[in-house]
Amino acid sequence: MSRHPGYIFKTVRADKDDYWEKFVTELVEPEEPKHRFEKRMERDRLPYTIRLNPKTKKYEVVETESVKKKLGHKKSNPLYPSAEKMSVSKHQSTSYANPSKGFKPSYFGWGKASRNELLVGVSFNPDDCLFWLMMLYDGGTHGRQKDFQTRETAQAYLDKQLTGGIFCESLEQLEIAGRKNPKKYNEVLAGLKWNMGGSSAVVVFSDNLESRLLAQLRALDLKKRLAAKYPDKKPITVPISIYPDVTDSSQTDFMPYDDDQQKKDRDEAKSDPDALCYVEAIDFVHAGTITENKSPAHLLQTYILLEKLGKKHAKDYLLKINCNDFYFLMGAFHHAICRDSSESVDQLMTLISDMCLDYPNILCSAATGPDAGENGFYFLILALFHAALKNSSENVKKIVDVVLKLIEKCDPAALAAL
């Protein structure tokens, strides 16, 4: 029986530094240079760096390309041919697991109180990846700690890491080293390629309702992007799995999260005010439908989810919002100011500005139903009043700028009727 290859995996942040849209855009179209972005710290490179050569299966110290160009040296043979390199994402930090062998290392983000309750990412078959580095975590690659001023210091560091079992020359070696150091992360610098055959998946790392719903939302987004790129490939499926419990020895693989389980979670979320926005976002991405009579908080939460998922989703959602919804939106803006929620204020400022570019007179629209007669402008001015009371000069300036822009765009007759 052949050895299970294991999985290359990574978490993709879902906090204020969420970068899913950039990540998935590059993943689907890695061949497009405009989508490829640097995940490590951008700074002037030092002259020497360390890499794993896939041909020799050995590490080597090499000059960095920027230094070669500066010194007029010829470029060395690249690790991979250009076409092969452009078929995967720009190399980035990932990890390796092989649950079938009991190797279930910790994943990045699990120890961060601000992130560990909402962790979703992706996994790949190692055969669909290209590799630049495999190691037990020793400070990471983001800050380019593997760059050095001289060849001698780079070689000395490399020798030390090899002797100490930190650098590994194969995934099998990494698994062995990881077993000896169960509390350590492992890090693999890898270029990633999505496999349409089912061996790639969206992964739930924090197994709770919100993470599972976010996984559904991201899987839908990825499916739509793949369908747009490959219109002749049907059906397109994006599997979702759950990372195995590191404390449960009976879990020897990533666990499938099937359609029935997904529907059960959506049904549960419909009765949970904090999770309802996920159902709205999922329904919108799937079928373009929205729920009528939304509360201000629900409207805002759904928009923020869609804006993080992709700007096109957020813009399409705006086109579905009617005048009565805009009145509620202004109410949400007022509440965000009162709570001094800076993230919500910034999101709403963007949303309001975007809406008014398409519907300049919407500011003057009044609510219907029990709030008939009041309008969005009333709440906008109320938000400005409370921002001034809180002495939030930054928010006051933001609101004044938006008010002036909106007034400039509004029909004078509509403004006179306020």
The domain spans of the chain are 7-255, 322-417
The arrangement of strands across the sheet holding 48-53 comes to 58-63, 48-53, 147-148
C-alpha closest to that of 33 among 104, 82, 73: 82
In this structure, what token pair is assigned to residue 308? 């993080």
pLDDT of residue 209: 98
CA distance 220 to 237: 9
* Residue pLDDT, tens place only, 159-176: 999 999 999 999 999 999
Strand partners for 202: 122, 240
DSSP state string for 241-284: EEPPPTT-TT--SPEE--HHHHHHHHHHHTT-TTTHHHHHHHHH
Residues 6+ apart with CB under 8 A from 128: 88, 192, 193, 194, 195, 199, 200
Per-residue pLDDT tens over the stretch 207-261: 999 999 999 999 999 999 999 999 999 899 999 999 999 889 899 999 999 999 9
Distance CA 404, CA 399 (A): 9
For residues 188-215, average pLDDT: 97
Return d(Cα 107, Cα 99) in angstroms, integer: 13
CB-CB contact of 179 with 103 (8 Å): yes
Peptide bond into 235 cis (omega under 30): yes
State mean pLDDT over 265-278.
Answer: 95
**How confident is the model over 136-141, as a mean pLDDT?**
76
Q: Judge contact between 121 and 194, C-beta under 8 A.
A: no
Task: Determine if the pTM surpasses 0.95.
Answer: no
276-287 and 259-269 are packed helices; what angle lies between their axes, rounded to 10 degrees? 130
Locate 110 and state its tokens: 């699990």
**Structure confidence at residue 15 as a pLDDT band (50, 70, 90):** confident
pLDDT at 304 over 70: yes
Mean pLDDT of the region 335-354: 63
Q: What whole-number distance in Å separates Cα of residue 142 and Cα of residue 59?
A: 19
